Chains A and B, each alone.
Chain A
């Protein structure tokens, strides 16, 4: 025992001596967008799309990157041999992307490399192929990979969004349900109508969408197969038919119907059209959204006097209030990890987008302009789209959930509103 003691003491002394090295804890940081240089790819001139520009714009909008304009680059290398890390360090770049574009019999192939300039290492090298019209897809794919390699979060630049456009002039195509890249490009109308279109939403597999249209002169819920473009009318009840939401497994649709009096939450089996009433009260219950595991629906209700967010178990029907801060909380959307939700939150008469931690109930305001509404979260949970007003015009804004970086998407004519960020497509 005494020998053990001595050994222990020796070890103790040794260990204290061995840790004589200075120990410094870095317990704070200075989160700045990472400076990244995306060098124009070889043989990418004179093409219908500027690949370099698309990638740089994507990364910049994420809020975590600061692309270096090509005009400020000291050299434009296209192969690893031409890369002089010292020069890139001088330009302030932390990361570097170079590449070469090859025209193939059908489409293009881009080989590219991502470098860590400060550690002087290759982080990633890959080849991306696309069709003749696929230069934007190639650009988004490269953006996604670069973003993921550097941030540790899957990129969302290759995903799609839906939104409603109102041209604000009477006509057969005044209201349009639009389908576009999340940078706003390649927008095309899925539905055109002289009557309002509302509440577009995605199924989790990204193959179907649901929306509300007034084209039959009263609101009805439609489900559209994106591949075929075929829309199916799901409801035709009297009164309100609105706010559809696909269950996580895509088999059910939560919705709001007022056929039995006040608006209540119902769940419909899409295959059998069987309807189940989830809430039954004399208050307004609306804007259902599924919990990640599909066992509960969260919704907005005015049962407490002011609009607040509640959660109801689909099987037991037992409701539980989730929000207590502010006199108005609506439009709940659960983040993909299920840990928090975003909502429209009113404070001092101003509407913001706020996020609330599901476990702790802590609320944080994400946007600070007024009249922000309709938040829709990106599938990676790092950003969200919302509708807002700019110069008396409805526009779409995006904000990074983490860094608070905000930007407005380029908008066309008329008002745009009710964005719905699509899921990953593969």
Chain B
């Protein structure tokens, strides 16, 4: 009864373990359908800012000399000179004024332009900052997603590798099974239900170096036939081409169960 409780606990625990493992496998397999591995287009809102200021128009006026009338030389000259001076002065004044005006105008315009530019730049800057922040957040999100994908990929790859190895191991198992079955010649006293378990050890050349009966059938002739079958095979040359890691993990030591299911009796 105690043993029964032990076993039932063991069974329950193993069931729970298996169930948990199964659930894990199923859940990781299904709830995370691989997100499409597409690179999201990154939109950057760019605004063209015109920095070229409008070139001020040069006003050229009164460059042409007035027609000079020479009547009274001296007075006229004086007058003229004065006049000239006055005119020139006026001219210069005007010019100066004009220049001053122009400069002021220019300055204002420049100031305005600059102001506009600055405002624009600030706006752009703010926008850029905002965009950058958005981009960063996006990037962060993307990176997280990428990491998750990579992790999933890695896991999948590992699983695939394991599956691939299991497949390789199974195919070699079939080869070994076939080679030994070919050489297994049972004595007439062999009966269905007799079982003999052997442990054999191999080296990477496929050579079988030790053969040991770990559980006999009770029929010495039957057990010998199993041992002889392995000795007769001697080497499994197919194993030579195998990856050494796969060999070490699986084929260094092999349990063989001889179970003559094909016997009529």
Contact = CB atoms under 8 A, between A and B. Distances in A.
Contacts of B199: 21
B232 A118 contact: yes
Given A5-B9, A30-B185, A22 B228 contact: no
B13 A5 contact: yes
B195 to A, nearest CB: 9
Interface stretch (A148-156, A159-167, A171-179, A206-214): A148-156
Task: Give chain A's interface residue range (CB within 8 Å of chain B).
Answer: 35 or more
Nearest to A380: B188
A32 B220 contact: no
B265 to A, nearest CB: 7
Contacts of A149: 221
Interface string A52-85: 0000000000001000000000000000000000
Contacts of A150: 187, 221, 224
Contact of A30 (B173, B184, B222): B184
A102 to B, nearest CB: 30
B229 A26 contact: yes
A12 B229 contact: no
A23 B9 contact: no
A22 B173 contact: yes
A28 B189 contact: no
B258 A26 contact: yes
B188 A64 contact: yes
A116 interface: yes
B169 interface: yes
Tell which of A8, A33, A116 has the most Cβ of chain B within 10 Å: A8
Contacts of A402: 188, 264-265
Interface string A1-27: 000110011011000000001111111
Contacts of A151: 187-189, 221
Interface string B232-265: 1000000000000000001101111111111111
Contacts of A22: 169, 173, 250-251, 253-255
Interface residues of B, number: 50
A34 interface: yes
Tell which of A32, A116, A149, A150 has the most Cβ of chain B within 10 Å: A150
Given A151-B189, A400-B188, A26 B228 contact: no
A105 interface: no
Nearest to B222: A152
Given A22-B255, A25-B257, A12 B184 contact: no
Interface of B: 6, 9-10, 13-14, 17, 169, 173, 176-177, 180-190, 199, 211, 219-222, 224-229, 231-232, 250-251, 253-265
Interface of A: 4-5, 8-9, 11-12, 21-34, 64, 94, 116, 118-119, 149-153, 364, 382, 400, 402-403
Given A9-B17, A24-B257, 19 more contacts: A4-B6, A8-B13, A21-B253, A23-B255, A24-B177, A24-B255, A26-B184, A27-B259, A27-B261, A29-B186, A29-B262, A30-B183, A31-B185, A116-B224, A118-B231, A119-B228, A153-B187, A364-B264, A403-B188
29 contacts: A4-B6, A4-B9, A5-B9, A22-B169, A22-B253, A22-B255, A23-B254, A24-B173, A24-B176, A24-B255, A25-B259, A26-B177, A27-B261, A28-B261, A28-B262, A29-B225, A29-B229, A29-B262, A29-B263, A30-B184, A94-B232, A118-B228, A149-B221, A150-B187, A151-B221, A152-B222, A153-B188, A153-B221, A382-B188
